Amino acid sequence: MIVGIGWLLFFHSFFTINNIEISGGQRIEEKKIREVIQKQLLETRLMFFNQSNIFTFNKEEARQEIIKRYNVEDLRINKRLPKTIAVSFVEKTIAGIWFEKDKYYYIDDGGYILYEIETLEAEAKDFAVFKNKGEETKIKQDEIFKKVVMRDDFLDFLLILAKKVKEKAVFNQNYIFTINETESTIEINIIEGPTIYFNIEENLDKQSRKLEILLSEKLKGEEFKKIEYIDLRFGDKIYYK
């Protein structure tokens, strides 16, 4: 009887997982999470038991693999007899897009990598793009997650600046924020216009007001596109060429 019950529970097709339910995804495609689970179903556990069985499927292993690929919150994996694995999660709030070594990543307001973006075109319209100017990578691995590592004041300044630019619709053209930690500078590189320099050690509101005045009084319309750079980093002065 023991052998028969064991065979029924661990080897009979009645308890073979054939249904995977995914909930909570908005930007993360369900198929991406499903692929993680499906790959694990092909693996064995304890060298003998197939993880396609509802009782031998390792929820913690699946959880760690999903977290490693997608930095999500409130991740839950449940077994529903006789054949279903249910995965639910909450996506973290996206603060921007990090660009480095020809790859793009969503990041949250703590600088943590949420996941890599396969195509940028659609996403760039909704979020600011941040670029690492230095050659050394700023993406570091902690115990579980990858994170963009920079000075806290630098990251805070960067996110607030990006929010201000978006809210006030300062530029009609596409632009990228470039990080230059060595010079304590953030550059706004406008595709069809100048490069604008901000000093993170100076007051952001003051620098923003100087820029607004300059754009409203002297550099309107096509004149703005002809400018090579605007430098706001030095006290009350504005330099442009």
Q: Which one of 91, 114, 129 terminates a domain?
A: 91
Residues 183 and 230 in one domain: yes
What is the per-residue pLDDT across 65-99, written as a single tens digit (0 to 9) for each? 998 888 898 999 999 999 999 999 999 999 999 99
- Does residue 169 have a pLDDT over 90? no
- Does residue 129 have a pLDDT over 60? yes
> What are the helix (H) ranges across 59-108?
59-69
Residues 204 and 156 in one domain: yes
Q: Which of 71, 163, 161, 74 is nearest to 111 (CA)?
A: 71
More confident residue, 136 or 121: 136
- Arithmetic mean of pLDDT, 198-213: 93
- Arithmetic mean of pLDDT, 137-158: 89
pLDDT band of residue 182 (cuts 50, 70, 90) is confident
Q: Residue 5: what pLDDT?
A: 63
Q: Residue 110: what pLDDT?
A: 92
Residues 104 and 82 in one domain: no
- 217 vs 98: CA distance, rounded Å: 33
- Does residue 104 have a pLDDT over 80? yes
Q: Which residue has the tokens 């693999």?
A: 65
- Arithmetic mean of pLDDT, 217-221: 82
Q: Which one of 91, 108, 131 terminates a domain?
A: 91
Tokens of 208: 């923003």
CA distances from 71 to 33, 64, 76, 104, 174 (A): 12, 10, 13, 15, 28
Q: Residue 133: what pLDDT?
A: 86
- 105 vs 98: CA distance, rounded Å: 5
Residues 69 and 144 in one domain: no
- Arithmetic mean of pLDDT, 166-195: 86
pTM of the model: 0.80
Q: Computed from CA positions of residues 137, 138, 140, 145, in that sequence, does the dihedral angle turn out positive or negative?
A: negative
- Domain harbouring 164, CATH code: 3.40.50
How many domains does the chain fold into? Answer: 2
What is the per-residue pLDDT across 33-53, written as a single tens digit (0 to 9) for each? 999 999 999 999 877 788 999
φ, ψ for residue 136 (rounded to 5)? -80, 135
Residues 169 and 63 in one domain: no
Query: Could you tell me the residue range of the domain that residue 220 belongs to?
Result: 96-240
pLDDT band of residue 166 (cuts 50, 70, 90) is confident
- Arithmetic mean of pLDDT, 114-133: 82
pLDDT band of residue 4 (cuts 50, 70, 90) is low
Q: Residue 142: what pLDDT?
A: 81
Residues 87 and 106 in one domain: no
- Arithmetic mean of pLDDT, 100-109: 91
